[in-house]
Structure 1
């Protein structure tokens, strides 16, 4: 086997086994021989807590915003795109730069900053080679997006807890930004519309700019809310789409009892987990002999999502089966409950209740971590959503000192990332 073939197989293996946290870096490494880039960003709504996965130039990926990615997605879907790919200039990481964007069947978005073919192919007339490179990029991207979908579908309880903490934190930070900037812009508009200003043209122009900025800010807030909340009817419709293949090819009549259209919106991790739980229950029921009909129903009492799945099989659904145990773990991760009523000869009836809000906060108990006084101060500010610069300012220390304390904190609490440390702090009562 030639060396290029071995390298390709190694890239495929690395990407197909990549963890969620490292999938962007693995994808960048796999595509580098075919198309280089200064930064790579994956944006997927499947991961409610961590919708962005990034690799490359830190000065770019640290500044990428959801608003920038939304604008690129719009360009991808517009007339200038082909539907699944778009190349042009766009703002990414706070600056205008060349980008290449690709979509996927799961609605994930891939963005490459400063895309560049390897030396010797950029100006060649051999278009076949460049087309082949494009096909390899699409191949690796399809593999990565499917890997993300599978990993999220099989996420362990710890991921769901971390996702909920990260989602709540993003809502809090965005709400603060909206309040701050809305007040600023509304004050600006009031001043610019004042009749005391004589330059009408300047006032109209400035008013228009400020109004657009205000609309953009509100749009960003709505967009962030969409990522962490989903109308119950929309979440249920997505479940129907997920189960369509089973309905079409299994011969089983899958019935859906629609939830109230005006029910409370579901937190993103609850909606995602509920769909995964129902899919798992349906597949477990289908494995029984003699099942002809499965009915699934969602309801919402304002505090809980109530899920019911019932079959007309022989009543042989085993609660001890590994697949059922995994579903029970998902339910427990969101502090929910699941009951299974098996009636021999009549079928199985499974009821699941998922609370829409996390349990009431407990008093902080972090004594086992043996944190120093200053480390605890840093962790409390970190758990409150403060960035390194803000923590340094509040504690009157340098950012390098903050980073030093954070490294010690990660080691003592057993966290591998900032997000994980925040989640662990929240789960122990620190806010």
Structure 2
């Protein structure tokens, strides 16, 4: 159990982020389901009986998916890129079939590297958020969705035929930007007035490398390591001296050497770098 007043552990933060991600993904899916139901009910191509049957089918599928939500918390499981893309098409199928939005899907290569579950979930959520944003604007009639994989990244391209006034600061892109940022990805937005807007997204397939500990990346003596450990914990010179059985002047000497070796300008920066 974490002590009161301490920051949450990295494991706790990861669990909280995973929980938030699952909730956000479920919200996106339910939004697509509701939009699909509305599109079916408004469709002129279906009579009342057919519409009720189709709505029941969509709702039943959504309920089954909800019951399986725990199975989707599988960030360590790999998904073939083609299979992950097929799940996206399945998510959007009712909206595409009965809505007024023409969606073109460009299949990823079958030889593409398998996607970590977290990346696959985020990629589908990003595309769903973009499609819902286009639907909300009400002026987009055609959307092109493309996935590709370069071995290191999942590359997502989304283009619409709207007014071409989308900017990186558009409120509708905030959920997408947050998902991309959470995976250390890159989001680029381009628009041509009268011709539409494009979203180009790169999601790394591997987590960023952990930074090398300072004590391992800089050549330090055994005593300097001891001093660094205590300085990083917030100890002042007197406490460091009494703990190690040395004089305060010797502590100052070691701290000065540590600042020089690490290129830091003060104890606070040295402690932050050590952490």
TM-score normalised according to structure 1 size:
0.35
Contact kept, 8 Å, 2:184 with 2:204, in 1: the verdict is yes
Change (3 A) 1:361 1:246: same
Contact kept, 8 Å, 1:319 with 1:340, in 2: the verdict is yes
Distance 1:364 1:272 in 2: 32
Q: Secondary structure at the match of 2:113?
A: coil
* 1:335 Cα offset (Å): 0.9
Distance 2:175 2:186 in 1: 13
> Structure 1 unaligned runs (5+)?
1-20, 23-45, 48-103, 110-144, 153-162, 168-226, 373-427
Residues 19-418 of structure 1: matches in 2 within 5 Å? Answer: 105-106=64-65, 108=67, 167=75, 228-364=77-213, 370=233
* 1:322 Cα offset (Å): 2.9
Distance 1:429 1:253 in 2: 53
* 1:107 Cα offset (Å): 6.5
Contact kept, 8 Å, 2:129 with 2:175, in 1: the verdict is no
Contact kept, 8 Å, 1:289 with 1:314, in 2: the verdict is no
**1:403 aligned residue:** none
Contact kept, 8 Å, 2:168 with 2:188, in 1: the verdict is no
1:118-172 deviation line (CA, Å, top 9, x unaligned): xxxxxxxxxxxxxxxxxxxxxxxxxxx6xx79xx9xxxxxxxxxx8xx95xxxxx
Distance 1:245 1:264 in 2: 28
Distance 1:429 1:361 in 2: 13
Distance 1:287 1:316 in 2: 15
> Structure 2 unaligned runs (5+)?
1-14, 23-62, 216-228, 236-272
Change (3 A) 1:369 1:294: farther
Distance 1:302 1:271 in 2: 14
Distance 2:211 2:162 in 1: 43
More RCO (CA 8 Å, sep 6+): 2
1:206-245 deviation line (CA, Å, top 9, x unaligned): xxxxxxxxxxxxxxxxxxxxx6110000000000011112
* 1:294 Cα offset (Å): 0.3
Contact kept, 8 Å, 1:290 with 1:314, in 2: the verdict is yes
Q: Secondary structure at the match of 1:105?
A: helix
Q: Secondary structure at the match of 1:106?
A: helix
**2:37 aligned residue:** none
Change (3 A) 1:326 1:362: same
* 1:108 Cα offset (Å): 3.8
Distance 2:84 2:77 in 1: 12
TM-score normalised according to structure 2 size:
0.53
* 1:358 Cα offset (Å): 1.2
- RMSD value, Cα: 3.6
Distance 1:265 1:429 in 2: 36
Distance 2:123 2:117 in 1: 10
Distance 2:188 2:100 in 1: 27
1:318-350 deviation line (CA, Å, top 9, x unaligned): 432333122111111111101000111000011
Q: Secondary structure at the match of 2:65?
A: coil
